[in-house]
Amino acid sequence: MRFRFLTLAMGMTLWGEALQIHAQDVLANLYACAAEQDDKRRLACYDSQLHRLPAEPPKMQPSTTAPDELASQERQFGMSEQLARQAAQAPHLTKLSARVMSVSYAAHGEQVVKLENGQVWQVAEGEDPMQIDVGAVATIKAGVLGAYYLSVRKQSVRVKRIR
């Protein structure tokens, strides 16, 4: 139960800069609540902090993309929901290109491609493997319904980002 409230408190920082100072204060208080040994007092402490939060997160205003944000977006492009939560920012790119650093195989034979930008992509289950040479430039494009496609020399295969 403690971890649920701590996860909630950490997630508050995603709501925007307007609540950041308030969220940090609540987070500090939640850590203090977690230290409480008495179950009833701990729960009351959590409840009192939860009531300090707004009923809904504030609406986020769209922002223009600065050059340094582009590199951050590229690192996050294609992340699974879990990876995106860890990065705390949704991807905005529709494609990226990077040089292939290595090609290996997962337990069930799916190709695993590591790119020079540090991203690791795995060919989706059921897709036929394709010739991917180390040093080749791979392009990954966002498809519909959250799908991603890796292309090398006019060949394309569906992939998912694993790192």
pLDDT digits (tens, 9 = 90+) for 52-90: 666 665 555 555 556 666 666 776 677 677 666 666 544
Per the model's pLDDT, the better-predicted residue between 31 and 94 turns out to be 94
Q: Are residues 103 and 154 in the same domain?
A: yes
Q: Are residues 101 and 32 in the same domain?
A: no
Whole domain around residue 25: which residue ranges? 2-50
Give SS3 for 76: helix
Specify the pLDDT at position 44.
84
CA angle 17, 19, 24 (to 5 degrees): 100
Nearest to 128 by CA among 156, 107, 101: 156
Does some domain include residue 58? no
The owner of tokens 């992939």 is 159
When divided into structural domains, the chain yields a total of 2
Assess contact for 102 and 147: CB atoms under 8 A: no
Q: Which pLDDT band, with edges at 50, 70 and 90, does 47 fall under?
A: confident
Q: Are residues 134 and 91 in the same domain?
A: yes
Q: Are residues 40 and 76 in the same domain?
A: no
Residue type, 130: M
Specify the pLDDT at position 16.
47
